[in-house]
Chains A and B, each alone.
Chain A
Amino acid sequence: MKSFDRSDSKLVLAHILFAFAALLIGGVAGLLQSMVKSGSIELPANIGYYELLTAHGVLMALIFTTYFIVGFLYSGVSHTLGGKLLPASRKFGWAGYMLMSLGTVMGVIVILLGKASVLYTFYAPMKASPWFYIALALVVVGSWLSGFGIFYQYVRWKRGNKGKLSPLFAYMSVVTMLLWQICTIGVAIEVVVQLIPWSFGWVDTVNVVLSRTLFWYFGHPLVYFWLLPAYICWYVVIPKVIGGKIFSDSLARLSFMLFLLFSIPVGFHHQLMEPGISPFWKYLQVVLTFMVIIPSLMTAFSMFATFELYGRSKGAKGTFGWVKKLPWKDVRFFAPFMGMLIFIPAGAGGIINASNQMNAVVHNTLWVTGHFHITVATSVALTFFGILYWLIPAITGRVLTPRMNKLGIIQTITWCVGMFFMSGAMHIVGLLGSPRRTAYNSYNDHPDAVLWMPYHVAMAIGGTILFIGVILIICNIVGLLRAPRGETEYPIGEVSEASEKTPAFLERWGVWIGIAVALILFAYTIPLIDMIRDTVPSPGYVTW
């Protein structure tokens, strides 16, 4: 077994450690928020709830995820495409890292100075400091460079291996980064063309409806950018970890392509309750949104097929006997599996959110906050945590000890319990009407608002347990970095013998990108013309 390339290991580790530093700081902000929201504590006068909320959102949703994803994808691309990164790819990786880090540090400083309490959605016409927008632009451009490194490695590999099927991990990484490149164009236009000139005062007004639409053109595929790397782990890594096989290579690739097509032309389902968009286009994008259910069903089938086939190969009997054969005591399986399991109710909640008129029941309530805490902060986060237990040993030449494995299981359970209380309470109180993104207030003891209070306390209890979970995962990372030396294999699953040969059309990138662009133009052109023509622009305000 060939050990992981030393220089690549540095690049991957730098990304992962940065990601978890962001998780720790974001976690502190999250803990404080849940305490304030429930009325348990009051912050000292110079720290505001909304500064904490902005920092929490930016660090968790944008920084933690992006750094981890880039690190994880580079590790797999290095391992599966030739065993090490080409010098140019590695340079792209480091350049991306530097730019993103510069942007992150700048952004956090501006937020903590109270110059950008606009939350991570930074809706105009709330006007933050131009340096906040520049910081965000640096993070996005940095992530583009990281993407270019992956594309370069892939293209060079294809050239050197004519006619050969690319490794599944690399293929999926390319799809993920392609999705990211296409969707971040929207937010880049919003930030660079609209917000930065306006924030500097070079132009007086901003087209608010357009800025929101550009944001959500990016904002929904963003969630698939979080999810697809978790799916890479589920499709490619988990089969190897449990000792089974990948159910079908071609279906795995097809599902990723469908995610690419149907996660972008769908941003209006975040804007269902707002003016400026006609109901026809809202409904059309709702229909496109629901197309992602098809690859989701395919993914669910593949996962459980892999599990069942493995269990039966170990002699499992009966309809559900295979469940018992799964390696429940192995954190590399257990953590992502809990993520998968929780994704079933989480996905159902997502269907509710996107259901056109039904969105009125939950829009901007704590239900939505609860929703993305069980999707990205549980399904995705637990999968990422589960990856650490083999990735860090594999790239640093160490081994996972039984004790570390046990600590990992404890961390996973802590996370699930914390999230059960926090996200569960958020879902219920959201249905009772409690608004999201709101500091403590009893609304003059209005009876409806008083009814929310116990749930807000449950959220604080859950938040506290989750904070313990953050501390535990940080301790586990320190433990993994000091684990005994040894060889750990980078787990890449093999495709089941029963599965058929993968058709070549799944790698005709031009065709797939063409379809994606056509769908985007179809879903957005007419509404955008409307917005540019009919909207009255607005000046900026600082309301914090």
Chain B
Amino acid sequence: MHLHRLEKIWLKFGISMLAVFLIVLGIMAFSMGMKPPSEHHHTVDPTKVAEMAPFDNPGLNQIGKNHYEAVMTAYAFGFEPAEPMQVPVGSKVDFIVTTSDVVHGFAIVGTNVNMMIVPGEISHISHTFDKPGEYLILCNEYCGTGHEYMATTIVVQ
């Protein structure tokens, strides 16, 4: 099939840029630890979330120096633990989140923390909080009438 000379240049340039871009994305994801969150299946019976560890006791646990684990349950329309969690500046927090009812979102405004919470699955994401402040955690997937009220905060000080 005949291609115009300029079209060949245009396509070669475009396809090369595309290849470079995809390689950069791949390297970042697989060798620099920037994969999208929640790597694979970590399942939980969605009807028994409140009885199963660790979700029977949601909250913040210190697991190392400046390293915390936040166990959270999303439900219509809020998050457990209900009280804002508090961590020192510079802390790394591993969020471990599931839902006891429908699909929810989990986003921390002003950070790249953004993941889906799906019934039967446990979602994981880590974030290091370098700046102090009261961070807004909100549900960003429609979950019912009170969806817009589904939010909590995490205080970094």
- Could you tell me which A residues sit within 8 Å of B by CB distance? 48, 50, 53, 117, 119, 123-126, 208-209, 212, 248, 250-251, 254, 271-279, 282-283, 286-287, 290, 293-294, 297-298, 301, 305, 355-361, 363-365, 432-433, 435-441, 443, 446, 448-449, 499-500, 503, 530, 534-539, 541, 543-544
Chain B contacts of A271 at CB under 8 A?
116
B18 on the A face (CB < 8 A): yes
Chain B contacts of A126 at CB under 8 A?
102-103, 143-144
* B41-A297 in contact (CB<8A): no
- Could you tell me which B residues sit within 8 Å of A by CB distance? 1-4, 6-7, 10-11, 14-15, 18, 21-22, 25-26, 28-30, 34-47, 76-77, 101-103, 105, 107, 109-110, 112-116, 118-124, 134, 136, 138-149, 151, 153
User: Distance (Å) between the CB of B50 and the closest chain A CB?
Assistant: 15
Given A275-B122, A446-B153, A536-B120: A439 in contact with B147 (beta carbons within 8 A)? yes
User: Distance (Å) between the CB of B16 and the closest chain A CB?
Assistant: 12
* A500-B37 in contact (CB<8A): no
Chain B contacts of A123 at CB under 8 A?
102-103, 141-142
* B110-A448 in contact (CB<8A): yes
Given A279-B29, A535-B120: A360 in contact with B151 (beta carbons within 8 A)? no
* A535-B121 in contact (CB<8A): yes
* A536-B46 in contact (CB<8A): yes
* A50-B36 in contact (CB<8A): no
The one of A254, A357, A448 that contacts B36, using a Cβ cutoff of 8 Å: A357
Instruction: Please report the C-alpha to C-alpha distance between residue A146 and residue B151 in the assembled complex, in whole angstroms.
Output: 45
Given A534-B41, A544-B144: A298 in contact with B7 (beta carbons within 8 A)? yes
Instruction: Please report the C-alpha to C-alpha distance between residue A278 and residue B25 in the assembled complex, in whole angstroms.
Output: 16
Other A-B pairs, 10, CB within 8 Å; known A293-B14, A543-B77 = A276-B121, A277-B40, A357-B35, A364-B140, A433-B136, A439-B148, A448-B136, A499-B2, A500-B1, A503-B1
A-B interface, 10 closest residue pairs, ranked by CB to CB distance from nearest: A543-B144, A275-B38, A274-B116, A435-B140, A433-B109, A538-B119, A275-B121, A364-B140, A536-B120, A441-B148
Instruction: Please report the C-alpha to C-alpha distance between residue A491 and residue B123 in the assembled complex, in whole angstroms.
Output: 54
A540's nearest neighbour on chain B, judged by CB, is B102
B101's nearest neighbour on chain A, judged by CB, is A541
Chain B contacts of A274 at CB under 8 A?
38, 115-116, 118, 121, 123
Chain A contacts of B103 at CB under 8 A?
123-126, 208, 212
Instruction: Please report the C-alpha to C-alpha distance between residue A278 and residue B46 in the assembled complex, in whole angstroms.
Output: 20
* A433-B107 in contact (CB<8A): yes
Instruction: Please report the C-alpha to C-alpha distance between residue A286 and residue B18 in the assembled complex, in whole angstroms.
Output: 12
Instruction: Please report the C-alpha to C-alpha distance between residue A124 and residue B35 in the assembled complex, in whole angstroms.
Output: 26
Chain A contacts of B47 at CB under 8 A?
538-539
Question: Could you name 20 residue pairs across A and B whose Cβ atoms are closer than 8 Å?
Answer: A123-B141, A126-B144, A212-B103, A250-B2, A271-B116, A274-B38, A275-B38, A276-B38, A297-B15, A298-B7, A298-B11, A305-B4, A356-B29, A360-B114, A433-B107, A437-B142, A446-B109, A500-B1, A535-B41, A543-B102
